[in-house]
Structure 1
Amino acid sequence: MKRRIFFSLLFTMLSVSVTTATKQEKYIKHTVVKGETVNIIAQKYSVTPYDIFKLNPDSQNGIKLDAVLLIPPSSIGTTTAAQKQAVVSSKKTTHLVQPKETLFSLSRQYNVSVDAIKNANAELLKDGLKIGQNVVIPAGDVFTQDTYQKPPVEKPVVKPTEVAKTVVKEEVKAVVAKPTSSSKTIYHTVEAKETKFGISKKYGITIENLEKLNPQIVSGLQVGTKLLISGERTISEDVSSVAKSKSEPIKETVSTKKYLQEYVVRQQETLYSISKDFAISEEELISLNPELKKGVKLGMILRVPMKEKSEVKPVINKTQSNLSTSIKSDKKKQLVLLLPFNISKIESDTVNSTQARLKKDKFLNMTLDFYSGALMAIDSAKVLGLNVDVSIFDSQETKNSSAAASVIQQNNLTNVDAIIGPFYQTNVEKVAEMLEGYNTPVISPLSKESGKGYKNLYQSTPTAEQMKSSIFDFMRSKNGNIVAVVDAKKGSIINYLKDQQRDVKIVGLSDKGTLVSDSLLVKLDKNKMNYIIVASEKTGMILSSTTSMVNAQRNYQVQMVVLEQNETLDFEEIPLAKLTKLNMLYPSISKSNETLEAIYFENNYKKINKIVPNQYAIRGFDVTFDTLLRLSQDKSFEETVQGSATEQIESKFDYSLNENGGYSNKGVYILQYEADLSITEAK
């Protein structure tokens, strides 16, 4: 069968065309690119940041990569006198106080005097303005044209050389016109992780005054910088500071500012899961929400930090979608598969025949299996009437080399709609890097490695890290008590639990490295399901652990858990009856499927190939068919990824945006053994 497939390598081609309509808009649409800020965009279009904020209110909390902003024509980029004559609404407004905000900044933002805000919040402001307070903004104060000021906007991002010039200019001004004061001069040396907000709060001054006294920090703080807090800086220090700014390039720093937002607690969420979602410690979360000391409750409204721009992910309510019901076939799409047949090596092999090579070359067999499944997906696409041109090329790859780049150049494939392959992570990353400027989706079909941050790279196979993370999310969703029995040789697992899963109770072992039943029992909770992780490849350790767990089931709810594939569990010495009695739980990238569609696929595959499809054949079908369906929607490939999770024969595709760019598939199944020896998806 494989020999026939290898020699045929038939390529299926489907095609159609589409028309697009353009519409004359009043405003310009700008797509945010990496490194842009509101100020930079405003300068580009000769408008003010305030004009952008008016048309895009959400941009006041930061802008996201690839977000689309409405930009007014520059002719209307100036604020009119009518706009400056602000009239305050008769309704009261509440404002959630953010870091760096002062009464003065609030008065400017809402066109209300400082005294009016103080009077409306007399009790609340007894101890001053604090982060997280809900401040009432009163009505009735009207700012005239002379006193009107625009809302505060973020500082523009400029090049280090421009910053240095600005610092020199500001420092010279400070030398010429220093304020006179009889107060004692106070300095502060910046330490690691300190922010302008924290320093200004510590000394009771505003950030604006801190920056005026220390212009060199406008673009950001540097560890070790000596800041003037109050009093006067000596002339020698000013000259030294200016000289330093001329001679040393100023490093660009990332602001640690975190705005606050209100968040409603959802079902099955815990203190740990919320703190993890918002990249904040449990202690910090409790300090912002003292009511959490009494526990997390459904429907609670919490104050949580809004993630930094680099961390922001679109808020998506994904649904499990059947994309075959929403096909749009009025536009021709092009899909390319780069598969490692390595035909030139086979043709030049004078020692082994093709038949002999097929018998011993596991990588070639895997490639042909994947290819056979992909051909089934292409046939299914024809039946559905998908208008996609599919081209298949030999990527001629090994772990350290690939001909994919030359294939793309020689065949002018830079403008195709998607590429599946190559197989090896290093090779697929090179293709993604090559096509990143074209924003061509590059789908990694098999690699489980964590990829580099290319915005167009889609890891279709969940990583080992995502597998482990998924099963912990499941256990916490059940409010389980998580316990771990870890072999001393599994240092990586121990480190992972201590660093990433700190609430897990690790069972101590004896001096000989064996499990003592009493050490396990003291970690169990009678009021919860006890999920007991067993991380060992030693038959003796697994036997003693499972025996202790079965005995514990007399008084406790106990379920066994493994985090990764463990061949020792397949040994005859490990009774299957114990694993089923403990309903062994584990993460998997695939699950068996007995639906009519799955049965039809298997029967059709056997009819064509005279063999039952293996995991690589099914994977070839799932990845290819999912890609074909996503290309056949009225949205871009990336939009379908952001909005729809899908499920094919044995695989789930639920892509998530990575912090460093690109997407990874978090479609992991949590499976468990049943008493009847079947394996089902845990609910």
Structure 2
Amino acid sequence: MAQIPDSFASHRVQKGETLEMLLEQYKITAEQLEEYNPLVTRFGIRRRMNLRIPIYSNTAVVQPEKPIQNPQNSTVSFTLHEVLPKETKWRLAYQYNTTIAELDSLNPEIKEGLKIGQKLKIPLPKELRPIPEKDSLYNYYKVLPKEGFYRIEKKLGVTQATLDSLNPILKETGLQAGMILKIPGAQSGELRIEDDLLVERANLIDSVFQKQEIKFTVLLPFKANEIILDSVEDTKRLLQARNLHTIALDFYSGILFAVEKAKQKGLSIEVDTYDTENSISKLNEIANELDDKTDFILGPLIPSNFNYLSSLKSLSEIPKIAPLSSNPVVLRKNVYQSVSQLDDNRLKMFSYLERVIDTTHHVVIVADSTNR
């Protein structure tokens, strides 16, 4: 087993310092430094880097691995915590060295989520572990049931030694399902990041269907009434340009492809398709014909037409999805928009960049007439 540090020191790299100088100063090897500082492996030593320096005793004592202990067997003191804005259960679990399951067990009212001002009963740890609202250096991971160090290393690329150094509580308790671990920000495996917490990527193809039969309605502006079918050249020219005809046809092709894939997975699907002709009067005709047994309505494409359709009381109980456009629609009952607004995307991008880059990185954003 690799030697575990007795403690850690923080070091901010100064101008002129080299890897050899740091190794000599702290009496450690390059492998020991890189183990707790993955960025050094990728970029080498850079000025203003913040390093975690492992400190070892003169004599290496190899300790046998501690078995997982059950903290419920010991006497535990409790404290009351008032929920603050933006707090989450995983952040509280990390801060108080406990698990989400234990928080839920002690406070059944929070199983559906936290509410500002709630007073929670929480096991009082030896010391609190503060966590920044936005952590630019680390991510956090919730341990799954029956998950060990080997499986976590395979999933995230983080060794047990690194986990032990960032999470000293592991030396006392071992891994416990539901506990929150601090993880180097550069090591997230194939997981996605939500509010600094690493979560599994959802695969809709592998999802369990809640219904075996689905019927839905598609409303698209094919505008077939404007296509002059007697003229092959005119029709070909029309369908080679980018317009509502071709956008609707391309989108409809994707719908048919998705429907066929879903059928291969055992889902029975019935699709009713209407040409809205990009006309309010046509939408009124279609609304009168719609089967109230349809599970949802996809479209219209144009936000103004969608807003009109969603305003009709006769369709208020049917879920309606606004596709393709990032322009905002009126959010009413049973209204959903599949494409996020550009401002939301920008904020997400800025938040991501703040989390993953440091002073050693450079970002080039190409935003011209051909790259938007």
Q: What is the TM-score normalised by the length of structure 1?
A: 0.26
Greater Rg over alpha carbons, structure: 1
TM-score by length of 2: 0.44
